[in-house]
Amino acid sequence: MQALGEDWIAVAHTSNCAFAAALHRVHPYHLIQFHPEVVHSPYGKRVIHNFLFRIAKLKGGWSMKSFLRRAVTEIKEQVGDGHVLCGLSGGVDSTVVATLCHRAVGRRLQCVLVDHGLLRQGEAEEVARELGEKRKLQLTVVDARERFLRQLAGV
């Protein structure tokens, strides 16, 4: 981001960011640019807490346990007696989705990871080991490296 829009006021900065946080003049919008979950953001948890409870006025009471219970229930209701096909990228998001679906539908989940040749070295094997062997998800790894890389030649 190069500049704030005309209705925004910078309220915080860092050594490399002139507007790490900003407020909108008219609407109750807040902007923050940082990764609160990383180690080099020592006050990340406090910033998240203040946003949730002081700015957004949330009440609290949320727990991971209740979220998991609700997510699994919703997946069960949506899938019914059907099956689920889940594409895996090797990243956190698709791994979480696969794990939740597995809790909800068990063996009716089929995961697929397409190794297109652009994954980190050994990543497809790591995903297969972690999700397929350790967590017992039904996982098919498709080796499409040659096909993808041939199509990308010269790009």
Give the integer Cα–Cα distance in Å for 99 and 141.
Answer: 17
Q: Is 63 annotated as a binding residue?
A: no
Below-50 pLDDT ranges, the chain: none
Q: Where are the alpha helices (DSSP H) in 40-153?
A: 44-50, 64-79, 92-105, 123-127, 145-152
141 annotated ligand binder: no
Considering the domain architecture, whether residues 26 and 44 belong to the same structural domain is answered as: yes
Residue 141 neighbours by CB under 8 Å, 6+ apart: 112, 113, 115, 124, 127, 128, 132
Domain that holds residue 12: 8-55
Is 16 part of any domain? yes
80 occurs within a structural domain: yes
Residue 73, annotated as binding a ligand = no
Between CA 50 and CA 70 the distance in angstroms is 26
**Contact (CB, 8 A) for 21 and 11:** yes
The mean pLDDT of the chain is: 92
User: Does the annotation place 14 within a ligand binding site?
Assistant: no
Same domain assignment for residues 99 and 128? yes
- The pLDDT of residue 54: 92
Quick: pLDDT tens for 118-141.
999 999 999 999 999 999 999 999
CATH number at residue 144: 3.40.50.620
Report pLDDT for 61.
87
> Any bridge partners for residue 98, and if so which?
none
Give the per-residue pLDDT at 32.
Answer: 86
**Does the annotation flag 41 for ligand binding?**
no
87 is in an annotated binding site: no
Contact 25, 9 (CB under 8 A): yes
